[in-house]
Every structure is written in C-alpha cells, then in structure tokens.
Structure 1
C-alpha cells in the first residue's frame, strides 16, 4: 500500500512537537530537581505498556540490538539531556542539540552509505542558527560539563537514529513492539542511576501524577511510537530534521501558556528553523525510499544494490 508521504511526515513531526511541551509540564507540575526520576517515569511505564500491547519480545540478536538502541535513544539520552539543561545557561542545551541533523548527515555517510549533499549540510547549519536565535539568551559562563553532556546527548540520539535505520526491524515485528523494547531497556538503565543519584521517589500530589501520566503516555509512548514508525519509512536525515520542531514548540508553549514574550529576533529564528526543517524533508534528486531494514550502498560499476540488514550480519 502506498504511503501518503506528507501525512507520514506530519504524523512523525507530532513527536518533537510533543517533546517541546516537556519543559512546561516539568516546571509547572513535577517535583523540582528530579531529572533522573522524571526520565524513569517517562520511559519505563511507557515501555511496559507498549510491550503489553504488542505482546512480542526480542529474539536472537535483537536482545542486544534493542538494549543498544534503548541505551542510545533513551537510557543515555535522557540523563545527559537533563544534565545539560540544568548546567547550561539560557537554552544552550537546545542549541547544541540542534546540530543533531549535522551529526546524522555524517553518520549516515559512514553507516548507511548516504553521501551528504550541500543542501542537507546547509539546512543543518540554518536549523542550528534559527534555534539559537529562538532559545539562546545572554548569559553566563559556559559550564564545561554541561556542554560535554549536551554534545554527548546529541551524539547518542544521532547514533541511535542512524542505527535504528540501519538495523530496521525483525520480520513480522511492527514499530509498536520495537518502541516498547527500547523504552523498557532505556528505563531499566535509568532506574539504578535515579536511585543512586536521587534516592527514594518523591511524594507526588495530584498535579504531579497527572504530569507524569501525560509524559509517559502522550509525550513518550505515543510520541516515540510515531517517531520510530516514521523512521522506518523516511530517511534518517529526514527524521532528524524534524528535531528542531521541539525547541520551536517549547517557545510557542511558553508564549501561549506561560506568558513568555517572543521578540522579533525569536520569530525570525523560528522562521529560519522551520524553513530548514521543511528543506530537510525534500528527497534528494534521484533518491528512492527504502523499505524498513534496508539501505542502498554503492556497488561496483557505478550501480547501487539493496542490502537487507535482517539477513546480512552487522559489519564490525
């Protein structure tokens, strides 16, 4: 059945738009200074729910593949992201994160055989510049640990994105199950870190319970299912260029719900970042979509051949 490409892109874009609400929910409803516990409450309940719905467990090599992807996309990404956000001034973590498309362009060349184009590199630079105008505020000394955590978070998610595209999915297994595997693995990785670093879970009032329910269900279970579903049908570069929608969404939520102002410079930055996001969705000339689990690589005599990663061993 033919895929309605614009609809697929729009549905996948709902994931970063949802993630843009995380800051407002966290600051308005959740206990302060519990980033690891918040990451745990986002990942593990959502993962267990999706596992219960899918009723499919990994088999064979997919046990370690799911663990690796869960660590990169969830287990390492969440703590590093929160650490950078707490230690960096005025939106700097979002600026560093906005270079993710450039990371993915480079990793796609190494792992997927997709040569970077001038347009994709330029769009990545414009996206990062636009996000910086939206979220970057004047301010204080740059914390080295926070900057390193932000770079590591971006590299972790970018690597997970490309590996997700490279490995595809097992035959007969849908994105719901694969998303559940990753969220559960990531949540199990975060759990001991949260206990060691933050101690016992805090007491929760009604707003906190509602906030955690929202983060676990809409913001994580549904959003990551849409994200990985889109990743199976779009290129890794196309998916990652939707990422800047997250800080843009956060800025809009702050303006609409929290009474924050948007300056003309921020509006200009939003326009630049959104334009780069749209440009990142344009298929390269002569490019053809690949089905989940495959990628195209250069072959001899200038031809391209399709490699099915479900039957080919991972090159080490």
Structure 2
C-alpha cells in the first residue's frame, strides 16, 4: 500500500514541474510526451506485444486511464479554476466504490461512502477558493475525466493479463499517447522547435518518473489491492501539490488548507480499513457414548 501511494505522490509533483520547467500553455503536449515515450520504453524493455483480446483491451484501458482522462482534464483546466477541477476529480473514489460494487461484487460499506464524502470536502478546503467561477462544460469535462479514470481502474482489476506488469503498463501508455497525439497537434500545434534544457529536463522527469515508474506502481497496486483502496490513495496528489507549492514556491498556506489536508489524510486512512471476518471455530463432532450392558449372572 505504501509503495502504491508513491504513484499519486509523484503525480502531485507534476504541477511544480510544469510551472517551473515546461513551456506555458502546452498541457496536451506534456501529456503526450509523458505517456508515449514512456510506453515505448517499457514495451522495448519487456519485448512483449499484446496477444489476442488484449489488443483492444489495452486500447480501452489506455483510453480510459490516460487518453480520454487527460483530454477531459485539459478541457476542465481551461474552463475551470484549478481548485474546482481538483474538487470534482476527488469524486473518483466514490465512483470507483460504486463501480466495484456493480462489476466486481465488492461490498459498498457506509464507512467507504463517508470517507469518500470527507475526501471531497477535504480537497475542497485544500484547493477551492471562495471566488471560484463555475462553468457547465468545464464541470462536465472534470466529471467525465473522473468517470473515465474510475472505469479504467475497475476494468484494470477485472481484466487480468498473464503478461509482465511493465508490458501491460507500456501497452496502455502507448495507446493513451497515440490517442492524445492528434488532439495535441490540432489544439496546440507543432511542438516548440528549440526546447530549452529546462524543458528537456521537465519532459524527461515526466516520462521516466511521472509515467513509466508511477503508472507501473499504480497498476501494481490495482492488481494487489482493492480498487477502492487504491483510488483513495489518489487523494494524496493534491496534498503533495499544495505542500510543494508551500515549501518550494513560497505559496501561502491557510488554516483552512491545513484542515483540508488533515481531513483528506484521515479519509484516506479510514478507507484502507477492512473488516476481518471472525475466526472460524472448529467444532469437533461429539462421539456418542455407548454404555455397556450389564450382564446378569
């Protein structure tokens, strides 16, 4: 669980890397460079291609977890303040819990629902601003991105492959990157002709650490844990992003944000608790006692 938590913690560094190292106004380019080279690297290392049904499964999972998710996140980021988009995205644990109950027959407990509601409230305190403006299309895009990612998480648990984890991770990154490539070109145009050393360092970090390593840890956690447990760990991302903004960018941290971070962490811990069944008592059969008949002399 702690190893899986590294993935959303790494994703929480994306905001810092993007603002400090990458060219402005190119989020889709960053998503493509983050996914496609990392996927090609993992496929080259494992030398495994999808077989049979996994050609279309890899495409579906890559679209849900990466391609569609990042495209809708781009729309939400441009039409909504970041805090609103993050708050809507924090609905993902509740969506995963509901989908897991329907597709995986997992029990939807009251504690999970309450922890999910607390997580949304905590993220709202952490990143939401009082003067935030709402936009219908932006809200729909943010919600659609959360639904896409939640569905991808549950299907990643439902569909298991005999191929190595790094290979299946690479397939999804390649599929998601290829879906994003034409969208990025049409919306943002061709990439900069002469990227700076800082740009290359930022893209290199997003490719190797932010995608290849983080997604491998994420999918490993989905295979080993309940999807609901894994998706609650995703709430660490806005907490890490806010903490880095305070520590590195000298951003102001309010008491409401500190309270929000505490609520998020509490919801995360509560969601990991699983009810253990009572130990089964072994009941030994009672042997009947036969009395010997007394013989009469």
Give the alignment's TM-score, normalised by structure 2: 0.91
Work out whether residues 84 and 132 of structure 2, in 8 Å CA contact, stay in contact via their aligned partners in 1: no
Cα deviation, 1:164-205, whole Å, max 9, x if unaligned, reads 001122x2x121111000000000000111111111111311
For residue 223 of structure 1, the aligned residue among 214, 222, 225 is 214
For residue 28 of structure 2, the aligned residue among 36, 40, 50 is 36
State the partner residue of 1:14.
6
State the partner residue of 2:281.
none
Aligned length: 277
Please state whether the residue corresponding to 2:133 is helix, strand or coil: coil
Say yes or no: does 1:48 pair with 2:10.
Answer: no
For residue 257 of structure 2, the aligned residue among 261, 266, 269 is 266
1:117 deviation in Å?
Answer: 0.3
1:274 deviation in Å?
Answer: 0.5
Match runs of 1:1-316 below 5 Å:
9-169=1-161, 171=162, 173-203=163-193, 204-286=195-277
1:74 deviation in Å?
Answer: 0.4
1: CA distance between counterparts of 2:89 and 2:132?
19
Root mean square deviation, CA, Å: 1.2
1: CA distance between counterparts of 2:273 and 2:8?
19
State the partner residue of 1:294.
none
Please state whether the residue corresponding to 1:201 is helix, strand or coil: coil
Q: Which moved more, 1:278-287 or 1:61-70?
A: 278-287
2: CA distance between counterparts of 1:190 and 1:181?
14
State the partner residue of 1:293.
none
Cα deviation, 1:282-314, whole Å, max 9, x if unaligned, reads 223339xxxxxxxxxxxxxxxxxxxxxxxxxxx
Work out whether residues 22 and 215 of structure 1, in 8 Å CA contact, stay in contact via their aligned partners in 2: yes
1:259 deviation in Å?
Answer: 0.4
1:115 deviation in Å?
Answer: 2.2
2: CA distance between counterparts of 1:234 and 1:168?
13
Work out whether residues 89 and 139 of structure 1, in 8 Å CA contact, stay in contact via their aligned partners in 2: no
Larger Rg: 2
Cα deviation, 1:110-163, whole Å, max 9, x if unaligned, reads 110112000110110011111110000122421111111100100000000000
Give the alignment's TM-score, normalised by structure 1: 0.86
Structure 2: gaps (5+ residues): 279-297
1: CA distance between counterparts of 2:274 and 2:217?
20
State the partner residue of 2:288.
none
